[in-house]
Structure 1
């Protein structure tokens, strides 16, 4: 018998001072049985840090092969931002960058190792695609705080992310570097 996804609810107060985005979000996140909590936290952070009208989680979640973890669609349904999580293969990022015109990769892994896997690979506009990473200890600690129902306050100012998750406060630098 196949295992089913676990639903997690996140009530998020988002204050992204760097981008001028202030929203209250109610996120229902399905965590696939093969998805780690670290990946899920990174996926939620990617959603919040890229938040704009039309943003959605992929319908297939971690098992989706033809769409990113998170994407932004315009009013016609066309994908305008391709947002990957983890360490997706170069071909996937190449396809997403060509399709959407704007791509970004968020990782919970060692950014040097993620970048190394793209060396010499063909990725459309690689120099314009940021790899966004967080301190690994921050991701590990946040993953340990996740419940089925979660209260989140997320603030970003001057490249520093402040996260209050279920009453515990954490902070990390948001680091960006180009894929190519």
Structure 2
């Protein structure tokens, strides 16, 4: 945990009918002082949408060799490199070389996020997916954050239904390809 980080907790109920994943779990998220609420809630949502055995948050801002969220197998090898926000092409290249699967979840305009990657060397760029949400969804969720949160994530047919501290929101999960 970084010095000056604030711990935010989430009691999560996950029902991902698209993947057949149903879990109840608690998350303790170290929020760095420079991290925005929008980035943090995107990190938490990405954790839920990618939930699998071995999932964890990366080392954060101080760990440049790890993504925001990652999945490790039982040997400790990274199997999924999950970026949040707008990573640069070099990070995607690095992550794609390390992991079987590389994805980005962004709370920003995906066209603007992907534009700087054009023409850059990115390992297996054709396999990398960028996921975004309807305009205003992440900002609305960020406005609902508290120090202790109850979060229900339901995903069905690429639609995300989110209940955060008693307020219901929904969005389509949009998939974009680099190539």
Normalising by structure 1, what TM-score? 0.96
Task: State the partner residue of 2:161.
Answer: 162
- The alpha carbon displacement at 1:156 in A equals 0.4
Superposed, 1:32-71 pairs within 5 Å as 32-59=32-59, 61-71=60-70
Deviations, residues 127-151 of structure 1 (Å, cap 9, x unaligned): 1110000123110000000000000
Alignment-derived partner of residue 179 in structure 1: 178
Cα drift, residue 62 of structure 1: 3.0
Q: What is the rounded CA distance, in whole Å, between the counterparts of 2:13 and 2:66 in structure 1?
A: 27
1:20 correspondence with 2:20: yes
Displacement of 1:76 = 1.0
Alpha-carbon deviations, 1:52-93, whole Å to 9, x = none?
00001012x133211100000011111111100000010111
Which residue of 2 is the match for residue 9 of structure 1? 9
CA RMSD in angstroms, aligned pairs only: 1.1
Correspondence list, 1:99-118, <5 A = 99-118=98-117
Report what 2:29 is aligned to.
29
Distance across 2 between alignment mates of 1:16 and 1:6: 29
Question: Which segments of 5 or more consecutive residues in structure 1 lack a partner in the other structure?
Answer: none
Give, in whole Å, the separation in 2 of the partners of 1:115 and 1:53. 29
Separation in structure 2 between the aligned mates of residue 100 and residue 6 of structure 1, nearest angstrom = 29
Moved over 3 A (4+): none
Aligned pairs for 1:83-98 (under 5 A) are 83-98=82-97
Residues paired across the two proteins, number: 178
Q: Specify every segment of 5 or more residues in structure 2 that has no aligned partner in the other structure, as ranges.
A: none
Q: Distance in 2 between matches of 1:91 and 1:13?
A: 35
Once residues 150 and 114 of structure 2 are traced to their aligned partners in structure 1, the CA distance between those partners, rounded to angstroms, is: 33
TM-score of the aligned structures, taking structure 2 as reference length: 0.97
Query: Alpha-carbon deviations, 1:19-50, whole Å to 9, x = none?
Result: 10000010000000000000001101111000
What SS is found at the alignment partner of 2:28? strand
